[in-house]
Amino acid sequence: MDNLSERTFQRGKMIEDVSVIEESIGVFVSIHYFGEINEVFVAEVLEDELFGLQLLKNVLHTILKKHHPEISFPFSELDELQGIRNIIAHAKKKVDRTYYADREPTDTEPYYVRRGKKREAAELERRFFELKDTVRNAIVSLPGMPKIMREITPEEAKEMRLIGGKLGFRPGSKFRL
């Protein structure tokens, strides 16, 4: 895979990772209100295009505040994670040796430009995955979350046919959103 293809794949994966986190919060909300994953509620309400992550985050905050005040959820990390996702998803230019932006190829490190501000790709990606792990661990630790959302071994993942699937399993590592 060349550098541009690799970066494009990485960008898509990061966007998908935030979607999986959003879906996981929706699973918790459904379990809280219905005692199980109510697929109709999730599909028709939580996955509606107007029911964004901010609203879902507000519902999660209300549930935790009223019913689980002892839980300290990393809301600021979730906000930062969403912000990085937005920078990556909506960046106008990402320049490296394989991409041209009305000038000669550059030898600089890849970067994203969002609202006129240059952001180094490597730093954004590093921070993204750090935040993703923090938020993911908080989500899977929420009361009532299904066992499948918790860490599983590569062997268990093979049995469940999750290898390379939407849930983000990487062979040789523990399960990750």
Strands (E), the chain: 93-95, 111-114, 117-120
Reported as a single tens digit per residue, the pLDDT across 43-91 is 899 988 889 899 999 999 999 999 999 999 999 999 999 999 988 887 6
- Same domain membership, residue 49 and residue 17: yes
Q: Model-level pTM greater than 0.75?
A: no
- Same domain membership, residue 162 and residue 125: no
Interatomic CA distance for residues 132 and 77, integer angstroms = 8
- Same domain membership, residue 165 and residue 121: no
What domain count does the chain have? 2
Domain with 172, as residue range(s), is 152-177
- Same domain membership, residue 137 and residue 51: yes
Q: Is 141 helix (H, G, I), strand (E, B) or coil?
A: coil
Quick one: angle between helices 3-34 and 121-140, nearest 10? 20
